Amino acid sequence: MRVVSGIQPTGNLHLGNYLGAIRNWVAMQDQMECFYFLADLHAISQPHVPAELAANTREMAAALVACGVDPDRSVLFNQAQVPAHAELQWLLNGTARMGWLNRMTQWKDKAGKNRDGQSVALFTYPVLQAADVLLYQATHVPVGEDQKQHLELARDIAQSFNSAFASEEAPVFTLPDPIIPPEAARIMSLRDGSAKMSKSDPSDMSRINLIDDADTIMAKVRKAKTDPEPLPGEAAGLEGRAEAKNLVGIYAAMTGQGVDAVLAQFAGQGFGAFKPALGEVLVETLSPIAERFNALRHDGEMLDAILAKGASRAREVAAPTLDAAYRALGLVRG
Ligand code: TYM
């Protein structure tokens, strides 16, 4: 059993990343061997500033450690130090189909009407993501719901490659299962309950960043969009109230309770009472993370050492699978 997951080092970690994925990353360290990486190769699929990418890669490493990813127990690295990711992507490009990639909703969303103007990397991005997990024979991939389709594609690619180039008894790749937390599969924007919380949203008020200070968190929650109705007594009463549903869901995920338990506590109350309670719950968990992050973020040498150590282990573990893929394709390697 092996856990593998990644995050793009663009911008700050936000509450969606934390509840959808990172919290599970931390929990899974106790149960299985874990590989967590900064998807810097994915980050160049869209316009970027090189100096910012380098700084963000180290900052994101610091943020993950601050959240509880332990580089002594988990393998923490960035893709760029493990060339096997890019190599395996090329080998899988022969198996992936244009039609499969054309169906990816993230591609459609990001490309919009201007497909011809997008980079080839944005289109083939999910093949690199498949390589990321197949390279390590991942069995479990903890992600938010928006990555589910990419994981299904990785399974299709693995299955297709195995049946074309390997035997049933000795497959080259393991089919990975996504692990999606039901209570926090999709955290929505604080300004619009129909859009997911995202680092690419131009409004910083739409998201809680893990490094926001207490006053900022309280203000963002206070200004979050809601409706004038009081909170209902049970989950069914949240249907059609996207913003209310999102805030109650965040409270439930943060406190480890079910939505019904949260509603039992706040039934009949308005957001004037609920929002400060939610803000406090957020501050209580996020303040220590921000404090640890601020202590780590400027220690570039230590962060580089963590990433170098992780990359060295990742290269070692990736090598046999990469080798098996080359051989299965009939590529001669001496
Ligand atoms: P990224 O960097 O956009 O997000 C990192 C993780 O956070 C989750 N997430 C959310 N979960 C719930 N609600 C939200 N609003 C929310 N926003 C983000 C994402 O689902 C993800 O788990 N393509 C990936 C990175 C990647 C990867 C991989 C992931 C590259 N290779 C291999 C898993 C396995 C991405 O851009 O995630």
| Sheet containing strand 75-78, strands side by side | 75-78, 33-38, 2-7, 140-142, 177-179
- The atom of ligand 1 lying closest to the CA of 145 is 20
Other CB atoms within a 10 A radius of the CB of residue 97 amount to: 12
Identify any residues that bridge with 83 across adjacent strands, giving them in sequence order. none
pLDDT tens-digit series, residues 98-116 = 999 999 999 999 999 999 9
Note whether 80 and 315 are within 8 A (CB). no
Residue list, ligand 1 pocket, CB within 6 Å: 5-8, 16-17, 20-21, 39, 42, 129, 132-133, 141, 143-144, 146-147, 184, 186-187, 196-197
Name the stretches of the chain with pLDDT < 70. none
Residue 194 lies inside a defined structural domain of this protein: no
Do 181 and 111 lie in a common domain?
Answer: yes
Q: What separation in angstroms does the CA of 11 have from each of 55, 60, 212?
A: 10, 8, 13
Do 167 and 236 lie in a common domain?
Answer: no
pLDDT in the model for residue 15:
98
Do 161 and 214 lie in a common domain?
Answer: no
Our mutation pick for probing the ligand 1 site, out of 22, 23, 146, counting the most ligand atoms within 8 A of Cβ, is 146
Distance CA 143, CA 234 (A): 28
DSSP string, 52-68: HHHHHHHHHHHHHHHHT
- The atom of ligand 1 lying closest to the CA of 143 is 22
Give me the number of domains the chain comprises.
Answer: 2
pLDDT in the model for residue 14:
97
Identify any residues that bridge with 36 across adjacent strands, giving them in sequence order. 5, 76
Our mutation pick for probing the ligand 1 site, out of 12, 13, 17, counting the most ligand atoms within 8 A of Cβ, is 17
Distance (Å) from CA 166 to ligand 1 centroid: 30
pLDDT in the model for residue 183:
86
Distance (Å) from CA 102 to ligand 1 centroid: 20
Distance (Å) from CA 189 to ligand 1 centroid: 15
Note whether 237 and 230 are within 8 A (CB). no
pLDDT in the model for residue 12:
86
Do 60 and 166 lie in a common domain?
Answer: yes
Distance CA 111, CA 105 (A): 10
- The atom of ligand 1 lying closest to the CA of 4 is 34
Distance (Å) from CA 265 to ligand 1 centroid: 32
> Rounded to the nearest 10 degrees, what angle do helices 242-255 and 271-296 cross at?
50
Do 278 and 321 lie in a common domain?
Answer: no
- The atom of ligand 1 lying closest to the CA of 132 is 32
**CATH code for position 230:** 1.10.240.10
Domain that holds residue 121: 2-185+299-328
Nearest CA to ligand 1 atom 19: 144
Distance (Å) from CA 228 to ligand 1 centroid: 33
Do 149 and 253 lie in a common domain?
Answer: no
Bridge pairing between strands 75-78 and 33-38: parallel
pLDDT in the model for residue 179:
97
DSSP 8-state assignment for residue 4: E
Q: Which residues have a catalytic role annotated? A: 110, 196, 199
pLDDT in the model for residue 11:
82
Residue 250 lies inside a defined structural domain of this protein: yes
